[in-house]
């Protein structure tokens, strides 16, 4: 599969209340920028009957009320909107720094990642924390950021058998992606560290610390610093 934009957007009917617009293939920042540009513009110019606008890596799902509109009206609207947006740039990404305590009980799979990639544990920490990662989409569980930009030096397959419980705040790697578990949940990613930050809180005015299109930078911290931040987060 070759990553990149399609020459023409592909529209697919998704059930009796959904229209899916596909803009390209693969984990590609150009494709994702197109998705986010269209999502933002659809929210700003929301057509009658649109209930929800859901951006993903390479596509945009429009959920609508079939009593108020239909997929053909929406496809025409989106096609015209896309023409008007040609060449429009997206706002600069916010960079969110996330402190992480790597290894030991915080990252029980870090040795596996190091062994598979024939590097040291210190190398894993250095390589993982020196990049800024684009949030391509948020999903799977509330607030889970799917991050692109992982170095090939750290590509590691998922666990053969997923864990039934992954601790809240765990930072993991799965193939060419990295991400953070904002809540305790099942999961099969290789865990290399943990953040003490409360990334998702439904009681906050803004439940998430980030959104799709932002960038995340991981900052290595000590166990002592982890506990210090954790105490502040639980006050």
Mean per-residue pLDDT of the chain: 94
pTM for the model: 0.86
At 2 the pLDDT is: 67
pLDDT digits (tens, 9 = 90+) for 101-148: 999 999 999 999 999 999 999 999 999 999 999 999 998 899 999 999
Q: Which residues lie closer than 8 Å to 122 by C-beta, 6 or more apart? A: none
At 27 the pLDDT is: 86
At 221 the pLDDT is: 99
Burial of 112 (0-12, 13-18, 19+ CB in 10 A): middle
Contact 150, 117 (CB under 8 A): no
At 61 the pLDDT is: 97
At 145 the pLDDT is: 96
Q: What does the buried/exposed string (b/e) look like for 36-75 if buried means 16 or more CB atoms within 10 Å of the residue's CB?
A: bbbbbbbeeeebebbeebebbbbbbbbebeeeebebeebb
H or E segment to which residue 147 belongs: strand 145-148
At 50 the pLDDT is: 98
Contact 188, 158 (CB under 8 A): yes
Cα 165 to chain centroid distance, Å, stands at: 20
Contact 113, 171 (CB under 8 A): no
Identify the bridge partners of residue 12 per DSSP, sorted by sequence position: 20
At 169 the pLDDT is: 98
Weakly modelled stretches of the chain, pLDDT under 70: 1-2
Three-state DSSP state, 155: coil
At 26 the pLDDT is: 85
For residue 70, give the nearest of 38, 48, 52, 40 by alpha carbon.
Answer: 48
DSSP string, 186-215: EE-SEEEEE--S--B-TTSSS-BS--TT-E
Spell out the domains of the chain, with CATH numbers in brackets.
Answer: 4-84 (3.30.1360.40), 95-233 (2.40.100.10)
Proportion of the chain above pLDDT 90, given as a percent: 89
């Amino acid at each position: 599969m070759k990553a990149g934009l399609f020459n023409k957007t592909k529209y697919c009917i998704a059930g009796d209340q959904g229209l899916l617009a596909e803009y390209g293939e693969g984990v590609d920042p150009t494709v994702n920028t197109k998705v986010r540009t269209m999502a933002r513009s659809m929210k700003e110019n929301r057509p009658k009957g649109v209930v929800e606008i859901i951006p993903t890596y390479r596509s945009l799902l429009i959920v609508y009320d079939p009593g108020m509109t239909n997929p053909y009206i929406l496809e025409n609207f989106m096609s015209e909107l896309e023409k008007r947006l040609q060449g429009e740039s997206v706002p600069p990404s916010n960079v969110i720094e996330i402190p992480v305590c790597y290894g030991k009980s915080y990252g029980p799979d870090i040795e596996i990642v190091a062994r598979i990639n024939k590097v040291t544990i210190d190398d894993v920490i250095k390589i993982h924390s020196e990049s800024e990662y684009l949030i391509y989409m948020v999903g799977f569980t509330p607030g889970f950021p799917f991050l692109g930009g992982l170095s090939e030096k750290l590509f590691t397959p998922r666990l053969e058998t997923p864990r039934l419980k992954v601790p809240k705040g765990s930072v993991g790697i799965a193939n060419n992606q990295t991400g953070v578990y904002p809540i305790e949940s099942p999961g099969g990613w290789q865990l290399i560290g943990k953040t003490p930050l409360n990334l998702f809180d439904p009681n906050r005015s803004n439940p998430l610390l980030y959104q799709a299109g932002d960038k995340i930078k991981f900052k290595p911290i000590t166990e002592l610093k982890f506990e210090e931040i954790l105490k502040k987060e639980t006050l």
